[in-house]
Amino acid sequence: MDSAEYLATIDSLCALDLTAGHGESDAVVAGPGYRVVELMVSHGLPTGDASGRIPTAEDFHALKDHLAQRLNERWGEQQPPWGTVTLGVRLDRGEEIPEPWATVSVLVDELHLWHVEHADRWVALGVADREENDEVRLLTVVTHVDPP
């Protein structure tokens, strides 16, 4: 896929009825009011040469930043980059964090985040690259649920 296709996927998620909670095949997690979808996934990193992981993750972060620029042009400047580490701490302390934010906080360190007024949705982009034994993934989150 190219940038235009990723943006079209985000647009389709913004138009989707999120109340049903049924996930699409590319959904990492889905429920009533949210979808977390893989836009791009690396191939072979968990079983391949670990030296390829860093440049691959850098490429995914560059793509995330490029898409963020395009979304800023559409929707206005994003919220400041939102670190998810504190959500993990709050989860560890037993605090209830609503989905999709609880799941995303386990997968990514930082999100680009927009409140899309015309769709009354939150849209986020993040790179899941924490786990060395997993693929690197570019994720988008579309939800009615306000970030905690």
pTM of the model: 0.90
**For residue 31, is it within any domain?**
yes
**pLDDT-based confidence at 44, cuts 50/70/90?**
confident
- The domain tally of the chain equals 1
Q: Could you tell me the residue range of the domain that residue 31 belongs to?
A: 3-143
Q: Are 14 and 121 in contact (CB under 8 A)?
A: yes
Compute the distance between CA of residue 82 and CA of residue 64 in angstroms, rounded to an integer: 14
Q: Answer yes or no: is 99 within a domain.
A: yes
Model pLDDT, residue 19: 77
How many C-beta atoms surround the C-beta of residue 94 within 10 A? 6
> 22 or 140: which carries more pLDDT confidence?
140
Mean pLDDT, residues 128-147: 91
- What secondary structure does DSSP assign to 128-140, as a single string? E---TTS--EEEE
Summarised one tens digit per residue, pLDDT across range 87-109 is: 989 999 999 999 999 999 999 99
Whether the predicted pLDDT of 65 surpasses 80: yes
Q: What is the pLDDT of residue 36?
A: 94
In a domain, 148, yes or no: no
